[in-house]
Amino acid sequence: MLALVAGACGGGGADTGNSPDAVSPESGVLRIPGPEPQTLDPALAGDVASAFYVNEIFGGLLTWLPESAAPENVPCYNFSGRIYCLAPDIAENIPEPQFNSDGTVSYTFELRHNVYFHRGRQVTAQDFKYSFERALDPRTGSTTAELYLWDIMGARDMARSRVKTADGIGVVNDFTLKLTTERYNAVFLLKLTYPTSFVVDKEQVRGNQTWFNLPNGTGPFRCVECRVSRSKVVLEPNKSYHLGAPKLSRVDISFAGGSAPTQYADGVVDVSGVALVEIEDVRSPGNPLSKELHETPELGTFYVAFNTEKAPFDDPLVRRAFAMAIDKDLIARSDLKDAVDVAQTIVPPSMPGYTPPADAAIPFDPARAKELLASSRYGKNFPEVTLLATSAGASPGSVTQRIVAMWEQNLGVKVNVQQLGDFAQFIATMRRGDYQMTQFGWVADYPDPEDFLDLKFHSQRSRANNETRYANAEVDQLLEQARGEKDSARRMELYQQAERLILADAPWIPLFHEKNIMLVKPYVQGYEPPPMAIPFLRYVEVK
């Protein structure tokens, strides 16, 4: 899942001390700043901001629950001490795979009978079939359906306009859905927790071009004010939620702008990011706010990506030279105030069950970087190059400026920055491949290396996802073998081999693994953003 650039820990600098004009909190009401969603349509949600809302408003067959709320005998994953479990949502249970004689695999989901859309209509298997096939329909414009529904029989053909329905999506009866995959994939069920698999109300969506202004979902919260143009989203609890009603009476989410730390100091919001210039001060044990500071790792990687089909970055020697010219430790320490962990690999080290090949990382070595650049196809007449960046400010952010300065100093090259303030325009430009290099982030959608390595680097993935246009037949073979491998240890070995090759080819420069760093008021309990984009507001209390 796409994420914004590193270093956006909060608004600009502001006094985060107590304000004499502080607003008193309202019991049961959580007030938080942003982020602004690109969409509230589950089929289109491909960024962290949109998924934050969609996860709370909608639901699917399966979900993620903290260990304390999960039923017994479900698979659980340890994220650096925080345990989350794959659990039934609208499905009654997690089905066992049925291996068919033709090599296909079937999963039969029995649906709960007590699940209703927010406006009262009962959810059926037909709703899921409609939702899945709507996501796959090219007219919907989803860039994520092919990724997360890829395994289902007929899904790829439907996404590419070859067929009108997917044979692998079957309705047995009103409360039984049968999904059949072309072959076994160890993480197929994990993918069904992604928003693309969520159920939408077909009676609302059909023929309604503005249905997402007041979406009718099944999730723990219903949207009572959802027009993004009004700079605010208001959620109220779904008191009939089948997994247990939320503890909050309302969630006010504002993305109207302004300084979140100032709003936090004034009591306007209950949660805030921390500006980089203030992190060291807030972390100080002598600062009362240190007791309100929460830092948790995020299962994501911020990176520089190269378009491997465009000169000069079609030469791996050039890509490796650019990677060796960046002093990531200096940036993390000086520019980002240790608000990130330096990334040596693509897959974060906190990925449950996986040990990334850190010894395959490309080191900071300016002298060697110059040698590589000189020996490349473009060494004698190296052209000016352009970095595509996104930023709301008038000039590139400090991290971007530092990276560009390092390239120019250590390699003797000229790097221009093309800055697009409009996020949607930036994404469209990147997905068209209309760039030489860019910087962005990827946050895990499910806890498996496949989510980073296969989804982003397999050559047959759509170009909306493999934005580097990277292609390596040996990597493809390893990734395909890992998909169907039933032995977990062997799967991890295959991913390690694939990641080594990808790191050597350097379509990405992994820069940092980000953290969730925020201030949370003492009267807010249970506000613990998970390492992935999954629902969590149901457990929050404001007393």
Q: Kindly state whether residue 273 falls inside one of the protein's structural domains.
A: no
DSSP class of 62: E
Please state, in angstroms and rounded to a whole number, the distance separating the CA atoms of residues 541 and 479.
43
Q: Kindly state whether residue 262 falls inside one of the protein's structural domains.
A: no
Which residue do the tokens 């509230």 mark?
Answer: 40
Question: Which of 213, 247, 265 finishes a domain?
Answer: 213
- CATH number, position 204: 3.90.76.10
Please state, in angstroms and rounded to a whole number, the distance separating the CA atoms of residues 306 and 324.
14
Q: Are residues 191 and 312 in the same domain?
A: no
pTM for the full model? 0.90
Q: What is the mean pLDDT of each run of 10 residues along the chain (543 residues)?
A: 49 40 74 87 91 96 95 92 95 98 98 98 98 96 90 93 92 98 96 97 91 94 80 92 96 80 86 86 90 91 97 98 98 91 95 92 97 95 94 69 97 95 85 93 94 94 85 98 96 98 98 92 92 92 92
Q: Are residues 341 and 476 in the same domain?
A: yes
Q: Kindly state whether residue 383 falls inside one of the protein's structural domains.
A: yes
The pairing of strands 415-420 and 385-390 is parallel
Q: Are residues 205 and 306 in the same domain?
A: no
Q: Kindly state whether residue 269 falls inside one of the protein's structural domains.
A: no
Please state, in angstroms and rounded to a whole number, the distance separating the CA atoms of residues 221 and 223.
7
In the chain, DSSP finds a helix count (H) and a strand count (E) of 16, 22
Domain count, the chain: 2
Q: Which of 29, 94, 33 is nearest to 64 (CA)?
A: 94
- CATH number, position 312: 3.10.105.10
What are the DSSP calls for 318-350, one per residue?
HHHHHHHT--HHHIIIIISTT-EEE-SSSS-TT
Q: Kindly state whether residue 14 falls inside one of the protein's structural domains.
A: no
Question: Which of 213, 241, 272 finishes a domain?
Answer: 213
Q: Which of 18, 11, 541 is nearest to 276 (CA)?
A: 11
DSSP class of 116: B
Q: Which of 312, 502, 276 is nearest to 407 (CA)?
A: 312
Helix ranges (DSSP H) in 13-154: 48-57, 125-136, 145-148
Please state, in angstroms and rounded to a whole number, the distance separating the CA atoms of residues 125 and 111.
7
pLDDT of residue 396: 61
Q: Are residues 182 and 315 in the same domain?
A: no
Question: Which of 188, 213, 238 finishes a domain?
Answer: 213
- 201 alpha-carbon distance from chain centroid: 25
C-beta of residue 445 within 8 angstroms of C-beta of residue 451: yes
Q: Are residues 207 and 313 in the same domain?
A: no
Q: 243 exposed, middle or buried (CB, 10 Å; 0-12, 13-18, 19+)?
A: buried
Residue 248, helix vs strand vs coil = coil
CB atoms within 10 A of CB 375: 12
Q: Are residues 347 and 445 in the same domain?
A: yes
Please state, in angstroms and rounded to a whole number, the distance separating the CA atoms of residues 440 and 445.
16
Q: Are residues 390 and 510 in the same domain?
A: yes
Give me the torsion for CA of 503, 505, 511, 513, rounded to 10°. Answer: -40
C-beta of residue 89 within 8 angstroms of C-beta of residue 243: yes
Q: Are residues 497 and 370 in the same domain?
A: yes
C-beta of residue 348 within 8 angstroms of C-beta of residue 453: no
b/e sequence 9-47, b meaning 16+ C-beta within 10 Å: bbbeebebeeeeeeeebeeeebbbbbbbbbbbbbbbbbb
pLDDT of residue 18: 43
C-beta of residue 296 within 8 angstroms of C-beta of residue 528: yes
Q: Are residues 197 and 304 in the same domain?
A: no
C-beta of residue 39 within 8 angstroms of C-beta of residue 52: no
Q: Are residues 310 and 443 in the same domain?
A: yes
Domain that holds residue 203: 58-213
Query: Distances in Å between the alpha carbon of 497 and those of 425, 474, 485?
Result: 35, 10, 14
Enumerate the β-bridge partners of residue 98. 106
Token digits of residue 3: 């994420």
Q: 202 exposed, middle or buried (CB, 10 Å; 0-12, 13-18, 19+)?
A: middle
Please state, in angstroms and rounded to a whole number, the distance separating the CA atoms of residues 77 and 88.
15
Q: Kindly state whether residue 79 falls inside one of the protein's structural domains.
A: yes
The pairing of strands 29-33 and 250-254 is parallel
pLDDT of residue 8: 39
Enumerate the β-bridge partners of residue 181. 105, 152
Q: Kindly state whether residue 267 falls inside one of the protein's structural domains.
A: no
Q: Kindly state whether residue 190 falls inside one of the protein's structural domains.
A: yes
Residues across the chain: 543
Q: Which of 349, 348, 345, 329 is nearest to 337 (CA)?
A: 329
